[in-house]
C-alpha cells in the first residue's frame, strides 16, 4: 500500500509540474485589461498554502487518486480511493499533511494477514463469518462463528455473536468459552504508512470496507 500511494502521488505531482510548465509556455493572446475585480473564493482552502517552498520541492494542496484494484506484497485491495492534502514532494520522498483512504480489503487478504488457520466470509446482516480449525481443550474442532466487526484503537476488531462447534449442546457449552477466544480477533492492518490508522469498517459481500485516516504521513520513495 505504501508503495502504491507513494508511486501514484509522485506521478500526480510530476504531471502537475508538467502541466504548469506547458501552460506557462503557451502564447498569450492580447486582451484588453479587465476592470472587473478578481473573484474572491467563498470559502478558504482546506489546507493553507505554505509561506514558501524549498528549492527542489513541489507542493500540492489536494490530490485525489483511485484504482479499481491494487496489488501489494500484503495482499490485494479493491475499489481504492485516496485523498491527500498538503502533499510535498522532496528529495527525501513524499509527505502528506493529511491522508484519507477508503478501500475494500478482501476476506482472503485479511485472513492471510491474521494467519492461524482463520477463514473469513460474508455472513449476511452486516456480520462476518469466521472459521478456524484448532485443538480446543484436547479436542480437534472446527470452530465456526458469526461475528460483529468494528474499528477499535486503530485495529480491526472481530467479536463473535454466536459460536458453533458442530457438536451436541453439552459439548458446545463446555467448550464455548475457549472456542470464543479462538475467533475473537484484534488485527492491525499491515502494509500501511506509519501514522495511518483504521477509523471505520463494515462488512460487504467481497470483504471489509475500511476507512483509514492519517496526518503528517511520510511516504518514502
pLDDT digits (tens, 9 = 90+) for 4-33: 555 545 544 444 443 333 333 334 444 444
Of 124-128, 129-133, 152-156, 188-192, the one with minimum mean pLDDT is: 188-192
pLDDT at 43 over 50: no
Q: What is the pLDDT of residue 70?
A: 80
Kind and range of the H or E element at 42? none
Mean pLDDT of 180-196: 86
Residue 1 CB neighbours (<10 A): 23
pLDDT at 194 over 60: yes
Q: What is the pLDDT of residue 31?
A: 40
Query: Would you call 22 helix, strand, or coil by DSSP?
Result: helix
Q: Which residues contact 184 (CB under 8 A, 6 or more apart)?
A: 158, 159, 160
Of 16-20, 21-25, 131-135, 193-197, the one with minimum mean pLDDT is: 21-25
Give whichever of 4-13, 59-68, 99-108, 166-175 has the largest mean pLDDT.
99-108
Query: Would you call 19 helix, strand, or coil by DSSP?
Result: helix
Task: Give the whole-angstrom CA distance, residue 21 versus residue 11.
Answer: 15
pLDDT digits (tens, 9 = 90+) for 84-113: 888 887 777 778 888 898 999 999 999 999
Closest by alpha carbon to 148, among 158, 135, 136? Answer: 158
pLDDT at 205 over 60: yes
Of 13-17, 77-81, 156-160, 188-192, the one with minimum mean pLDDT is: 13-17
pLDDT at 145 over 80: yes
Residue 158 CB neighbours (<10 A): 25
Q: Could you say which DSSP state residue 170 is in?
A: H
How far from 194 is each of 12, 85, 95, 154, CA to CA, in Å?
Answer: 21, 16, 11, 12
Q: What is the pLDDT of residue 191?
A: 74
Q: How long is the chain?
A: 221
Q: Where are the domains of the chain?
A: 107-187
pLDDT bracket for residue 184 (50, 70, 90):
very high
Amino acid at each position: 500500500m505504501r508503495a502504491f500511494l507513494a508511486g501514484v502521488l509522485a506521478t500526480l505531482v510530476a504531471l502537475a509540474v508538467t502541466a504548469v510548465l506547458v501552460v506557462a509556455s503557451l502564447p498569450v493572446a492580447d486582451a484588453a485589461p479587465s476592470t472587473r475585480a478578481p473573484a474572491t473564493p467563498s470559502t478558504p482552502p482546506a489546507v493553507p498554502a505554505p509561506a514558501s517552498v524549498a528549492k527542489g520541492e513541489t507542493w500540492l494542496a489536494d490530490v485525489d487518486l483511485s484504482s479499481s484494484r491494487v496489488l501489494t506484497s500484503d495482499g490485494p485491495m479493491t475499489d481504492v480511493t485516496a485523498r491527500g492534502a498538503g502533499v510535498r514532494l522532496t528529495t527525501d520522498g513524499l509527505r502528506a499533511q493529511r491522508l484519507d483512504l477508503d478501500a475494500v480489503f478482501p476476506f482472503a487478504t485479511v485472513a492471510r494477514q491474521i494467519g492461524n488457520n482463520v477463514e473469513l466470509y460474508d455472513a449476511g446482516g452486516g456480520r462476518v463469518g469466521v472459521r478456524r480449525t484448532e485443538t480446543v481443550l484436547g479436542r480437534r474442532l472446527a470452530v465456526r462463528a458469526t461475528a460483529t466487526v468494528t474499528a477499535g484503537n486503530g485495529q480491526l476488531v472481530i467479536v463473535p455473536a454466536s459460536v458453533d462447534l458442530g457438536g451436541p449442546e453439552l459439548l458446545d457449552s463446555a467448550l464455548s468459552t475457549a472456542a470464543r477466544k479462538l475467533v475473537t480477533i484484534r488485527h492491525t492492518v499491515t502494509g500501511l504508512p506509519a501514522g495511518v490508522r483504521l477509523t471505520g469498517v463494515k462488512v460487504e459481500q467481497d470483504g471489509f470496507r475500511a476507512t483509514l485516516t492519517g496526518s503528517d504521513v511520510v511516504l518514502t520513495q
